[in-house]
Amino acid sequence: MEITNHERIDTDDRNLCKLAISELGAIYSDLNLSQEELDLLEMPKRSFIVHFPVRMDSGKNKMFVGYRVQYNDARGPAKGGIRFHPELTLDHVKDLSFLMSLKCAVVNIPFGGSKGGVVVNPKELSRNELEQVTRGYIRAIANYIGPFIDIPAPDVYTDEKIMVWILDEYERMKGEHVFAVVTGKPVELGGSKARSYSTSLGGIYVLEEAMKRMDMDKFGVSIAVQGFGNVGENAARILHDRGYKVMAVSDSKGGIINKSGLDIKAVMEHKKGTGSVLDFEGSTNITNEELLICDCDILIPAALSDQLNKDNANDVKAKMVLELANAPTTKEADDIFFDKKIMLIPDALANAGGVVVSYFEWIQNLNNDYWEEDKVLERLKKIMITAFNEVHSLCDENSCRMRKSAYQLAIKRILHAERLRGNL
């Protein structure tokens, strides 16, 4: 049976939550957390369920259900995406908002974590209906969001167009311009430059810092990228532009390999014309499974979850894995990589560049001072490199996997903020 996009996204997110939760028990034990600390971590600060009517194109009203969870805001306003998905549940939103709290803490930006959305299949709506659902949802939660309360952003099946509708509806209600209420906007309406490729570039900044620790030479390594969507394609393009040899890439239909290196810009044009990277001139077609175990130095999974698992981890030849996808590596594979001394840079750190540039957008909106692209990139690089070094140092200190040290660092920071506030 063919898997729909909805099912893929739902599976990837649930695997992300499952992977994080599997780590937390051991982390809580290692940190010797008190019951008081556990209670604080295990319950969100605020959860909302809203019901709102929307007049459909048929002229009839239909009721929709929306959620918003602000898990923790001890370190700053809550931050997290809005998604439109037919299988969205409050429990799932809670898990995702907790992970956002951890991600913001890992890269040490002054945000807590939130998440929300509407139970709807946007593919079944007209453009007008989609806009009315968006505006109805924002009217329902408007009193609980804001630049210093909770700042939404794009997520699954939402984009910058929907962020503009959110901005416009919120401003209508408040009677003033409030650009900082939402991030992920077009540059013309307060968005930040470099946002479209910030996740990919943030991961590459981390990768280059990690390579220094591994004594890996830029011109001596070969790279394979699984996934040629926005994140994977941008990662491959940026690496190619910086002089790296990208020898293999893949999309949902399969992959290609050329051990001498691929011309990524030509591959992009080929995919644009044919719908796939397959059959690119001068390359050999391979499967996604073959790409994961090809003879490369650096492997970048940027597609689906659970791609690296107990069945193929022992066959992985890369010396380093950079997780740009959410939860592409299972816990069993993570353990195998640790034993094989393969450096795995976890998703909570590797793909955090997007939320960092969302933070920059928020700062620019608050100050009404918009940065040139070079400044955005310079500040992104500084934050990502600092975060990598902090996570890697803790990893060395405790002789543990980087995923565990990243979550441990995040939890320490959240609890420290709660302690300073007198909540512990």
Domain check: are 208 and 278 in the same one? yes
Domain check: are 168 and 207 in the same one? no
Measure the CA–CA gap between 373 and 194, rounded to whole angstroms: 6
115 is catalytic: yes
Measure the CA–CA gap between 50 and 68, rounded to whole angstroms: 8
Q: What is the pLDDT of residues 100-141, one digit of tens each?
A: 999 999 999 999 999 999 999 999 999 999 999 999 999 999
Name the residue range of residue 88's domain: 45-180
Domain check: are 159 and 56 in the same one? yes
For residue 80, pLDDT over 70 is answered with yes
pLDDT tier, 376 (very low <50, low <70, confident <90, very high otherwise): very high
Domain check: are 128 and 213 in the same one? no
Domain check: are 63 and 125 in the same one? yes
Q: Which of residues 322, 350, 378 is at a domain's end?
A: 350
CB 188 within 8 A of CB 164: no
φ, ψ at 230 (rounded to 5°): -55, -50
Domain check: are 268 and 163 in the same one? no
Task: Check 94, 103, 115, 185 and give the catalytic one.
Answer: 115
CB 75 within 8 A of CB 413: yes
Domain check: are 262 and 230 in the same one? yes
Could you tell me if residue 358 is inside a domain? no
Domain check: are 254 and 304 in the same one? yes
Going by the DSSP 8-state scheme, the letter that residue 340 receives in this structure is: T
**What's the token pair of residue 273?**
């014309």
Q: What is the CATH number of the domain that holds 69?
A: 3.40.50.10860
Q: What is the pLDDT of residues 152-180, one digit of tens each?
A: 999 989 999 999 999 999 999 999 999 99
Give the pairing type, strands 150-154 and 78-85. parallel
Q: What is the CATH number of the domain that holds 228?
A: 3.40.50.720
Q: What is the pLDDT of residues 206-251, one digit of tens each?
A: 999 999 999 999 999 999 999 999 999 999 999 999 999 999 999 9
Measure the CA–CA gap between 188 and 392, rounded to whole angstroms: 38
Question: Whole-number mean pLDDT of the chain?
Answer: 95
pLDDT tier, 313 (very low <50, low <70, confident <90, very high otherwise): very high
Instruction: Give the chain's domain count.
Output: 2
Domain check: are 176 and 234 in the same one? no
